[in-house]
């Protein structure tokens, strides 16, 4: 016959170990929830920033197009040099590149946000 009364604290140690393992598992779950929340917030803020940048690059493109039209008109009338026209063309091209890049970045950030919230199919 075996009486587990004097087992050197084996049962108490096992109970403590189980409690500590449960606490560690709970902390891992809490840590994962915090990381997921952070990732979703960062993705949301990045997509919001990219969306705001779309408006700015649209305005830049419109202003560059207007400047290009004015430079072309001045050049056609002989009031400015080819350098001014070339600079306006360069600014317009740069604005078009910035606009396209902003659209691409916004789409990328939206896909990242959709991934983070689990909306991708």
Tell me whether residue 5 is in a domain: no
Per-residue pLDDT tens digits for 39-86: 999 999 999 999 999 999 999 999 999 999 999 999 999 999 999 999
Q: How many domains does the chain have?
A: 1
**CATH number for the domain including 74?**
1.10.287
Q: What's the pTM value of the predicted model, to 2 decimals?
A: 0.75
Q: What is the pLDDT of residue 116?
A: 92
Q: What is the DSSP string of the chain?
A: ---TTSSTTHHHHHHHHHHHHHHHHHHHHHHHHHHHHHHHHHHHHHHHHHHHHHHHHHHHHHHHHHHHHHHHHHHHTTSS-HHHHHHHHHHHHHHHHHHHHHHHHHHHHHHHHHHHHT---
List the domain range (segments joined by +) for residue 29: 10-117
When pLDDT is cut at 50, 70 and 90, the band that residue 96 belongs to is very high
Average pLDDT along the chain = 93
């Amino acid at each position: 016959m075996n009486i587990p009364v004097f087992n050197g604290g084996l049962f108490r140690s096992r109970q403590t170990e189980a409690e500590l393992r449960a606490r560690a598992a709970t902390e891992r779950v809490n840590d994962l929830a915090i990381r997921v929340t952070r990732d979703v917030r960062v993705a949301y803020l990045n997509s919001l920033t990219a969306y705001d940048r779309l408006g700015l690059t649209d305005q830049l493109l419109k202003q560059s197009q207007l400047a290009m039209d004015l430079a072309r008109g001045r050049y056609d009338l002989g009031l400015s040099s080819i350098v001014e026209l070339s600079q306006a063309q360069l600014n317009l091209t740069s604005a078009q590149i910035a606009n396209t890049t902003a659209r691409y970045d916004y789409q990328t950030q939206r896909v990242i946000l959709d991934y983070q919230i689990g909306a991708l199919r």
